[in-house]
Structure 1
Amino acid sequence: MAYRETEKMRQRKAQARQRIIDCTYECVANGGFRSARITRIAGLAGVATGTIYRHFESREDLFAEIFRTATQREVDKVAEALTTDGDAAVRLEAALRQFAERAMRGPMMAWALIAEPVDPKLEEERLVYRRAYAELFEKAIRDGIEEGCIPDQDARQSSTCLVGAIAESLVGPLSPTLAGQITIADIDKNKLVDSIIRFCMQGLTGTRR
């Protein structure tokens, strides 16, 4: 008789997989991908290390799952901000502020997603999600051009410039490698966010906001 997996067994497997994901997410949020060692994840999840590899082909596959989950949450928040009231310029400013403020509230996860040195598989995921942000910004810029609140320009190019500017401007403040020099706790986060948004919006609209 062929082996048939029971519903109870499928549920147990699904629960174990979710525990692995949740514990890996916690490790990354607290110390970046470098701190998410398989032995540590297994201990937190209450499973054997071999169990992790039954659910994920490799460490890189597990990390890619975490990267997609975490980044999609951020993309969704930016998309949500773009539905707020006001013209396209106001909505873009709200979306950029959402991006920066959430990074300030979760600096280690933001660092892991934006700039932490990672394996090529995660770099590919990083590029995918940068494009996702750029596509959201591009649509808003096109809307702004049609509304007349944003000057005529290459919306696609401007959107990639916005993604690059806001991500790069956060790398230094978020970097854990600056310990002993300046830390995120030493930074006036409101002032930093305001400065980043001002730069982005002035570049986009040509006017001081």
Structure 2
Amino acid sequence: MAYRRTAAVQARLDASRREILKAAITLLTEHGYAGCSVAAVAARAGVATGTVYRHFPDKATLLTEVFRTAATREISAVAAAARRPASIPDKITAVIDTFAGRAFKSPRLAYALLAEPVDPAVDAERLVFRRAYRDLVAATVADGVTHGVLPPQNPGVTAAALVGAIAETLVAPLAAGSPEPDTIPALITFTLRAIGATDAADA
């Protein structure tokens, strides 16, 4: 007869896994991927190294899940900003302000999520979440075009270009840990001009 875990045993396993992920995200926030060795994660979580491997068969699997967890939290915050009742330019402004503002509040984590060299499996997840950001921006741009607030354009191409430009703009200051004070306002101005929001306002 196959062994079935009881609800209590499963709950303990789930709690252990959550603590391991929490410890790994804390280390990622403090030291980047270089500080997320399995031994370091185990020590921070207060468990044996073998316990980490019980949940994650190798470091790449652990880091992929860490990235997915941290990135999901960030994109959820940006998505919430995009859903607020506001004009299209204000929605775009809120998206950039939220994305860049959160990045500058936690620069080491943001650099790890955006650009730090990682295992190919984590890099693949990075592409998934970059597309998610693109789709968020594209939906907002498409809404603006539909309602005549923005000029006709390909929302997907516009959004992909913007997400790439914004990420590239943030990488250097995040790596240095010293963002320029006008970076976010400059990004907002650039983005509104790029999507034609300022031209529409002038018209």
Partner of 1:128: 128
CA distance in 2, matches of 1:205, 1:102: 26
Q: CA deviation at 1:13?
A: 1.8
Deviations 1:72-100, CA, capped at 9 Å, x for gaps? 11111111111223222221121111111
Q: Secondary structure at the match of 2:85?
A: coil
Q: Work out which of the residue numbers 158, 175, 183 in structure 2 matches 1:192.
A: 183
Aligned partner of 1:204 in structure 2 is 195
Structure 1 residue 63 and structure 2 residue 54: aligned? no
Runs of 5+ consecutive residues of structure 1 not aligned to the other structure: none
Which stretch of the first structure deviates more once superposed, 68-77 or 10-19?
Answer: 10-19
Q: Partners in 2 of 1:144 and 1:206 — Cα distance?
A: 9
Q: 1:112-127, aligned counterparts within 5 Å?
A: 112-127=112-127
C-alpha displacement of 1:2: 5.7
Q: 2:52 matched to which residue of 1?
A: 52
| Paired AA for residue 195 in structure 1 | A
User: Residue 165 of structure 1 contacts residue 200 of structure 1 at CA under 8 Å; is this kept in 2?
Assistant: no
Q: Distance in 2 between matches of 1:2 and 1:89?
A: 58
**Which residue identity lines up with residue 114 of structure 1 in the other structure?**
L
Query: Does the C-alpha gap of structure 1 residues 2 and 136 become closer, same or farther in structure 2, counting only changes over 3 Å?
Result: closer
Q: Percent identity at matched positions?
A: 38
Unaligned runs of 5+ in 2: none
Pairs aligned (count) = 200
1:82 and 1:4 map into 2 onto residues whose CA distance is 44
Structure 1 consecutive aligned stretches of length 4 or more whose deviation exceeds 4 Å: 1-4
- Once residues 157 and 2 of structure 2 are traced to their aligned partners in structure 1, the CA distance between those partners, rounded to angstroms, is 57
- The structure-2 alpha-carbon separation of the partners of 1:72 and 1:2, relative to structure 1 and needing over 3 Å to count, comes to closer
1:23 matches 2:14: no
Give the distance between the partners of 2:84 and 2:45, measured in 1 at CA.
39
Give TM-score, length-normalised by structure 1. Answer: 0.89
- Taking the aligned partners of 1:97 and 1:3, their CA distance within structure 2 comes to 51
**Alignment-derived partner of residue 6 in structure 2:** 6
Q: How far did 1:4 drift?
A: 4.5
Structure 2 length normalisation: TM-score? Answer: 0.92
Q: Is residue 149–residue 197 contact of structure 2 (8 Å, CA) maintained in 1?
A: no
